[in-house]
Amino acid sequence: MSFLTASDGIRLAWRVDDFTPPWRTPETPVLLLHAAMGAYRRWFGWIPELARHWTTLSLELRGHGASQIPTEAQPLTVERLVTDVVELLDHLGVARAHVVGLSAGGYVGQRLAMAHPGRVATLALFASTPGLKNSQAGTWPAKAAAMGLEAFMRAGIAERFPPDADPGLVDWFCRQTGSNDLPFVGRFVAHMSSRDWEDELPRIACPTLIVAPGHEPIGSNDQYERMQALIPDAQLVSLEGMPHNIGDAAPETCTRTLLDFLARRGG
């Protein structure tokens, strides 16, 4: 990982993976934004294939992975997360990127596309609605505090993985998410579950891919259909029967869907 100090002093971890042909003229890179409680390592099923075709940047959101956890006195809003992305792109001299977001990472991508449209060439959203306000997520911090974070994740695993998921993957996922700082996760989820910007979605002007879990237990399936209707240039793909964590449970399918979208709309 490499590191960048954000304008408010928080140390952010980022990485670049690039296995594209070295004689090819560099194209607009892909920027990966992980889900809440995620980290760079959670892209292990995506990056080997994706980075063969596109220079791939990854940012560990503040408070996650190797990035510094902000104090309670420091801002923790989706707008601050957007600023972190812009500062990373500026640091790398990247004018714009193909932005890919999983769940909460997609919240950041959506707000970035609205606030800084010139920085987002395309937007790809995986299990990512316009905020978490219209979901059960507001109850999660108290339950996680009572049970412990890893135990809470294990108790709700049916909402995230299909029954036939590899038990080793599920166990690793629970240990990875459970290793996060519980007070920070509580703040992060509380903020996201207070936000809803569905009425602002028409501001997203770039080509947008929406990949939805076909059996979404955390939000609502019809919300993805409304997103497609509200975003001017949007394509909706539904992964039938899949619960929320499609990026973890079906990384090969997600990557193929993304690469197909970028081949057609990436420019």
Task: Give pLDDT tens digits for 137-187.
Answer: 778 788 889 999 999 999 999 989 999 999 999 999 999 999 999 999 999
Provide the domain count of the chain.
1
- Residue 52, domain member (yes or no): yes
Residue 167 lies in a domain: no
For the CA atoms of 39, 45, 48, 49, the dihedral, rounded to the nearest 10 degrees, stands at -130
pLDDT tens digit sequence for 138-147: 787 888 899 9
The tokens 């590191």 sit on which residue?
A: 3
Model confidence at 249: pLDDT above 70: yes
44 CB-contact burial (10 Å; exposed 0-12 / middle 13-18 / buried 19+): exposed
> Does residue 136 sit within a domain?
no
Neighbours of 62 (CB within 10 A): 24
Model pLDDT, residue 216 = 81
Of the listed ranges 112-116, 130-134, 163-167, 201-205, the least confidently predicted one is: 130-134
Q: Is residue 116 in some structural domain? A: yes
For 170-178, the CB contacts below 8 A with 24+ separation are 173/245, 173/248, 174/150, 175/150, 176/37, 176/38, 176/39, 176/41, 176/42, 177/37, 177/38, 177/149, 177/150, 177/153, 178/148, 178/149, 178/150, 178/151, 178/153, 178/154
Q: What is the pLDDT of residue 266?
A: 87
Q: What is the pLDDT of residues 199-230, one digit of tens each?
A: 999 999 999 999 999 888 776 678 999 999 99
Q: Is residue 98 in some structural domain?
A: yes
Q: Is the pLDDT of residue 99 over 70?
A: yes
In a domain, 25, yes or no: yes
Query: Which is higher by pLDDT, 132 or 84?
Result: 84
Q: What is the CATH number of the domain that holds 70?
A: 3.40.50.1820
Closest CA to 39 of 106, 96, 110, 105: 105
Average pLDDT over residues 229-250: 95
pLDDT at 132: 84
**What is the rounded average pLDDT of the residues 98-123?**
98
Alpha-helical (H) ranges within the chain are: 47-50, 78-92, 104-115, 140-147, 149-155, 167-178, 182-192, 221-230, 246-249, 251-265
Q: What is the pTM of this model?
A: 0.95
Question: Domain range holding 125?
Answer: 2-130+198-265
113 inside domain:
yes
Is position 72 within any domain?
yes
Tens digit of each residue's pLDDT (9 = 90 or more) over 23-74: 998 889 999 999 999 999 999 999 999 999 999 999 999 999 999 999 988 8
